[in-house]
Amino acid sequence: MGANVTTEDQAEPKRRWQDVDLRAVAPFVALALLLLLGAMVNSNFISLNNLANVATRSAFIALIAVGATFVISSGDLDLSVGSMVAFVASLMILFMNSNAIADPGMMIAAAMLLALVVGALCGLANGLITTVGKIEPFIATLGTMGIYRGLTTWLSQGGAITLQSAEQQDLYRPAYFGVILGVPVPIIVVLAVTSVAAFVLYRMRYGRHVVAVGSNPNVARYSGIKVDRVRTTAFVIQGVCVAIAVMLYVPRLGSTSATTGILWELQAITAVVIGGTALKGGASRVWGTICGAFILELVGNIMLLSNFISEYLIGAIQGAIIIIAMLVQRSLVRKS
Amino acid sequence: MESEPVGGGDIVLSARDQSVSGAQGDVVLSAQRVSKSFGGVQVLFSVDFDLRRGEIHALMGENGAGKSTLVKVLSGFEQPTSGEILLDGKPVKLPPNGAAEALGIVVIHQEFNLAEHLTVTESLFLAREVAHFGLLDRKYMRRETRRVLDMLGSHISENAVIGSLTVADKQMVEIAKAISRDARIVFMDEPTAVLSRGETEALFKQVRKLRDLGTSFVFVSHKLDEVTELSDRVTVLRDGQWVKTAPTALLDGESIAQLMVGRELSSLYPQKSEPNVDEARVLSVVGLNTAHVRDAHFDLRRGEILGFSGMIGSGRSELMEAIAGLYPRVSGEVRIGDQLMPPGDIQATKAAGLAYMTKDRKSKGLLLGSDMTSNLTLQSLDQHGRFGYLSPASERKALARARRRFDIRVRDASVVAGRMSGGNQQKLLLAKVMEITPKILIIDEPTRGIDVGTKQQIYHFIAALAREGCSIIVVSSEMPEIIGLCTRIVVMRAGRIVGVLEGDEINEQEIMRYSAGLKQKAVA
Ligand SMILES: Nc1ncnc2c1ncn2[C@@H]1O[C@H](COP(=O)(O)OP(=O)(O)OP(=O)(O)O)[C@@H](O)[C@H]1O
Ligand SMILES: [Mg+2]
């Protein structure tokens, strides 16, 4: 920097407080308010232990939502992520049960690799159907949602698929239940994945292309950007994020069924929207997204710890949150 | 930030002095010491303005002078930070978001405000559909739409979907919409920027007719000849300040331009320099056909400025987009140097050094929600880091350089493109295209919505580029511009190249004859 910057530009870095983008800070303000509310409801709530637990539980949605941030920023939507979790997890467990590799450590590594490949392929399928097939992403992924779910039901023959080897289970458990330097592994994974995603979105060419395609595909095309490739890649990234979530999911329960991951797409999209990413594309806020995922889990936790709202209402509350988030987003746009 | 008009001490006919003279209509709408700030940035400084019944009042000023902002303040789209607005002499607070229409105030915006998926008829009657007992009277609405369009001399179908129209046609719909609403006060923010001469004349005829019936117009345009031709009075703004209001009869184009820029303007067009006959051919197009363009042949030499003239809809942009790889070709060859270009591959033409600047900056040129940097470097991200990584420092440098080179003026450097004034958006778009340092530059309507001072800068910039060996194609509907700039002019009509003019043949009459189909010559 320095030398070449003109005089006008030197004045730029000074930030007035009006310059702060309200939409970027809104989710964190909401989080702070929720923490306050929770502390009032139950004194156990604010304990580090409880919050770490909540964060750990939000890891699946957070990871999936990081991928959804890419897809939504590029102007698309992926409804198939919940079914994809079930499908990838089932294949992963079936592979581990096949005992194709004797060494359990190697076996787990190979299974994780398999999950990544299957996740990426599922994402690729979504991407190609929307771009090459020119089908609305809403419809395309509604279709694959049915397909991935149906395949899972068929693989499990309507029942459950359970990890059999106790040895594998013991070895794999720490991937979810482990703690490194006092921090649960899932939290570390989420932070690592989000950091990478933030780097890609804000510091790399691809991220710039995603935002360009999401805000105006025509402008992107006229600028020589390969629009379809950018969109397809976003779907693949979503698939990979689903696979990473599965890698944490399998050691937790060691079992899947036809109902695994039901409505997770709704939660992932909610997290993205709460986080301040615009649903119509063009703005991505990946740190906001994981904040959104954490908020969703916190709301459930508060309801559980308080005794004046039934926890059976959780779905309704989450539904209400997405609507409120949208309303807040819009009013902030108008003001700025 | 109290401020005095910067008009100076000469005989200034101020707005207030005139209204007492009473010779003409009474004041229907006026702004008194109106200021406007966005965030911490002040854009209008205590501006006075008044509009009389049955007058056409031109609002002039450089890009970013605050014309559009004043229009928005006077029509309720923005509220003034301080000062008063009087309607029929009484202070009012105009309702926002176009609700002022109920008071008879309509705006033809510089930015289009049409819903892309509605038909022309639906847009015209949006929110005031004609219905009997809840049943839409489609036939009546279609007939009315046809009538207004015919009145404007427009051939657009009343059933066409907005999204399928060209920019010029969209502008016509926008105008038809305003005119059909029985308004007392009509604001027109650069309505003619995208219109052909014929369309402009039809529009002016209607405007004069409505004026004689008592409607008042505020007319913003950068085309000085139109302003002197149409308006009754002129108000000039400079840097957000009121400079002068005077009857148009007392001014000419020259003096308006001087008031706008605050200095004398030297010659608008640069010295023409013809390329040597033996200069290399950098672009050759052979037998190119697209959906609308038929059998296009032409060459471009190194350092040449080649003009493309013709009526709107004559296929110029389609031809250029097909060459750039943005529009499908049916047949034909495009060569850059001696490299054959595959059809529909913009990456290939870009790599070969061809850059195309679209005339549709809102929907194809700029990301309106992104800041200047993202827009500037969108096409050239490879230059700002390796392995897909982007260096913010390098991008910042590029922006500082581009702002200096193209004189992009914004009061706040983090502003998103959609909030920049129209002319500055155009400069940003040009800067974006130039970032790839092209060998061949195709510019479609280079000076749309640009003030005279900046026009001059851009013309000299184009000439300088050509002298450095860049080859340039200028597509323009403004004849003086093409004549002043180009050494060779191709005229198109209904998808065909009907003439190539050189030397003495280059003049308005000759170009008109070709583009109207009165004359045609076989083109090699
Ligand atoms: N909503 C907004 N937020 C911030 N700045 C704005 C906003 N609208 C306009 N501006 C700034 O106000 C200034 C005046 O803009 P305006 O659009 O009124 O200019 P103009 O005279 O119409 O120019 P042009 O001839 O280029 O259309 C510009 O510097 C512009 O960036
Ligand atoms: Mg303007």
B173 lines ligand 1 (CB under 6 A): no
Quote the pLDDT of residue B3.
Answer: 41
Residues linked to residue B189 through DSSP beta bridges, in sequence order: B220
| Chain B residues touching A19 at Cβ < 8 A | 39, 414
Question: In this predicted structure, which of A2-16, B305-319, B370-384, B413-427 has the lowest mean pLDDT?
Answer: A2-16
| Chain B residues touching A204 at Cβ < 8 A | 388-390
Instruction: Please tell me the number of the ligand nearest to residue B69's CA.
Output: 1
Quote the pLDDT of residue A333.
Answer: 63
For A18, name the nearest residue in chain B, comparing CA atoms only. B39
* Ordered strands of the B331-336 beta sheet: B296-301, B281-289, B331-336, B339-340
Residues with Cβ within 8 Å of A241's Cβ and at least 6 positions away in sequence, in order, are A63, A64, A66, A67, A68, A119, A193
Which of B45, B107, B406, B420 has the most ligand 1 atoms within 8 A of CB, as the residue to mutate?
B420
**Percent of all residues in chain A with a pLDDT value above 70, rounded to a whole number:** 93
In a domain, residue A81? The reply is: yes
Going by pLDDT thresholds of 50, 70 and 90, the confidence category of residue B13 is very low
For ligand 2, the distance from its centroid to the CA atom of residue B61, given in whole angstroms, is 9
In a domain, residue A29? The reply is: no
* Statement: the pTM of the whole predicted model exceeds 0.95: no
Quote the pLDDT of residue A45.
Answer: 85
Which of B38, B70, B227, B451 has the most ligand 1 atoms within 8 A of CB, as the residue to mutate?
B38
Query: ∠B230-B231-B237 over CA atoms, to 5°?
Result: 130
For B419, name the nearest residue in chain A, comparing CA atoms only. A336
| Chain A residues touching B365 at Cβ < 8 A | 219, 222
B307 lines ligand 1 (CB under 6 A): no
Residue nearest to atom 28 of ligand 1 (CA): B64
Q: How far apart are CA B181 and CA B163, in angstroms?
A: 22
A212: domain CATH number is 1.10.3470
User: Distance, in angstroms, between B362 CA and closest chain A CA?
Assistant: 9
Closest partner CB to B378 (pick from A5, A6, A212): A212
Question: In this predicted structure, which of B176-185, B340-349, B491-500 has the lowest mean pLDDT?
Answer: B176-185
Going by pLDDT thresholds of 50, 70 and 90, the confidence category of residue B96 is confident
Q: Helix H segments across B262-391? A: 316-324, 346-351, 372-377
In a domain, residue A299? The reply is: yes
Going by pLDDT thresholds of 50, 70 and 90, the confidence category of residue B18 is very low
Going by pLDDT thresholds of 50, 70 and 90, the confidence category of residue A155 is very high
Which residue matches tokens 């994974």?
A: A189
Quote the pLDDT of residue A18.
Answer: 52
- Asked whether the beta carbons of residue A211 and residue B350 sit closer than 8 angstroms, the reply is no
- Second CATH level (architecture) for the domain B275-353+439-448+476-524: 3-Layer(aba) Sandwich (3.40)
Q: Strands, E, within chain A: which ranges?
A: 160-162, 179-180, 183-184, 255-257
Instruction: State the complex-level ipTM.
Output: 0.81
For B384, name the nearest residue in chain A, comparing CA atoms only. A205
In a domain, residue A32? The reply is: no
Quote the pLDDT of residue B162.
Answer: 85
Number of domains comprising chain A: 1
B68 lines ligand 1 (CB under 6 A): yes
Q: How far apart are CA B220 and CA B62, in angstroms?
A: 11
Instruction: Please tell me the number of the ligand nearest to residue B188's CA.
Output: 2
- For an interface test with A, give the residue of B360, B373, B381 to mutate (most A CBs within 10 A): B381
Quote the pLDDT of residue B264.
Answer: 66
Q: Is A196 on the interface with B (CB under 8 A)?
A: no
Pair of tokens at residue B353: 């050094």
* Length of chain B as a residue count: 524
For B52, the enclosing helix (H) or strand (E) is strand B41-52
For ligand 1, the distance from its centroid to the CA atom of residue B63, given in whole angstroms, is 8
Quote the pLDDT of residue B12.
Answer: 38
Pair of tokens at residue A148: 């991935």
Contact yes or no for A237/A126 (Cβ under 8 A): no
The predicted-structure confidence for B451-461, as pLDDT tens digits, reads as follows 888 888 889 99
| Chain A residues touching B40 at Cβ < 8 A | 16, 18
The predicted-structure confidence for A225-236, as pLDDT tens digits, reads as follows 999 999 999 999
In a domain, residue A97? The reply is: yes
For ligand 1, the distance from its centroid to the CA atom of residue B36, given in whole angstroms, is 11
- Asked whether the beta carbons of residue A4 and residue B400 sit closer than 8 angstroms, the reply is yes
Q: How far apart are CA B223 and CA B250, in angstroms?
A: 18
B61 lines ligand 1 (CB under 6 A): yes
Contact yes or no for A272/A289 (Cβ under 8 A): yes
Q: How far apart are CA B66 and CA B2, in angstroms?
A: 17
B52 lines ligand 1 (CB under 6 A): no
Does residue A3 register a pLDDT over 60? no
The domain in which residue A325 lies consists of 44-335
Domain range annotation of chain B = 21-261, 275-353+439-448+476-524, 365-438
For ligand 1, the distance from its centroid to the CA atom of residue A8, given in whole angstroms, is 18
For domain B21-261, give the fold: Rossmann fold (3.40.50)
| Chain B residues touching A215 at Cβ < 8 A | 367-370
Contact yes or no for B216/B210 (Cβ under 8 A): no
Q: Is A229 on the interface with B (CB under 8 A)?
A: no
Number of Cβ pairs < 8 A linking chain A and chain B: 90
Q: How far apart are CA B60 and CA B261, in angstroms?
A: 10
Mean pLDDT, rounded, for B310-314:
80
- Asked whether the beta carbons of residue A223 and residue B378 sit closer than 8 angstroms, the reply is yes
Does residue B524 register a pLDDT over 50? no
More confident residue, A95 or B101: A95
Quote the pLDDT of residue A319.
Answer: 83
Q: Is A203 on the interface with B (CB under 8 A)?
A: yes
Residue type, A133: G
The predicted-structure confidence for A24-83, as pLDDT tens digits, reads as follows 888 898 899 889 988 888 888 888 899 999 999 999 999 999 999 999 999 999 999 999
User: Distance, in angstroms, between B204 CA and closest chain A CA?
Assistant: 33
B499 lines ligand 1 (CB under 6 A): no
Interhelix angle A104-131/A81-97, nearest 10 degrees: 150
CATH topology match: B21-261 vs B275-353+439-448+476-524? yes
Question: In this predicted structure, which of A2-16, A214-228, B103-117, B469-483 has the lowest mean pLDDT?
Answer: A2-16
More confident residue, B470 or B311: B470
- Asked whether the beta carbons of residue A19 and residue B326 sit closer than 8 angstroms, the reply is no
Contact yes or no for B441/B473 (Cβ under 8 A): yes
User: Distance, in angstroms, between A171 CA and closest chain B CA?
Assistant: 37
Parallel, antiparallel or unpaired: strands B305-310 and B296-301? unpaired
Longest Cα–Cα distance of chain A, Å, equals: 70
User: Distance, in angstroms, between A65 CA and closest chain B CA?
Assistant: 23
Q: How far, rounded to the nearest angstrom, does the alpha carbon of residue A52 sit from its chain's CA centroid?
A: 18
Q: Which atom of ligand 1 is nearest to the CA of B69?
A: 18
B422 lines ligand 1 (CB under 6 A): yes
Q: Which of B442, B429, B463 is nearest to B360 (CA)?
A: B429
The predicted-structure confidence for B266-286, as pLDDT tens digits, reads as follows 677 888 877 777 888 999 999
The predicted-structure confidence for B175-234, as pLDDT tens digits, reads as follows 888 888 878 999 998 888 777 777 788 888 888 988 998 899 999 988 888 899 999 999
In a domain, residue A21? The reply is: no
Q: Residues whose CB is under 5 A from ligand 2 (ion)? A: B 68, 110, 422
Q: How far apart are CA B246 and CA A274, in angstroms?
A: 54
| Chain B residues touching A223 at Cβ < 8 A | 378-379, 432
Quote the pLDDT of residue B19.
Answer: 38
B260 lines ligand 1 (CB under 6 A): no
For ligand 1, the distance from its centroid to the CA atom of residue B93, given in whole angstroms, is 22
Contact yes or no for A34/A295 (Cβ under 8 A): yes
SS3 content of chain B, % helix, strand, coil (to 5): 35, 25, 40
B228 lines ligand 1 (CB under 6 A): no
Residue type, A118: V
User: Distance, in angstroms, between A131 CA and closest chain B CA?
Assistant: 17
Quote the pLDDT of residue B135.
Answer: 77
Q: Is B405 on the interface with A (CB under 8 A)?
A: no
Average pLDDT of chain A, as a whole number: 88
Question: In this predicted structure, which of B11-20, B440-449, B492-501, B512-521 has the lowest mean pLDDT?
Answer: B11-20
User: Distance, in angstroms, between A16 CA and closest chain B CA?
Assistant: 9
Quote the pLDDT of residue B136.
Answer: 79
Q: How far apart are CA B459 and CA B482, in angstroms?
A: 10
Mean pLDDT, rounded, for B67-91:
93
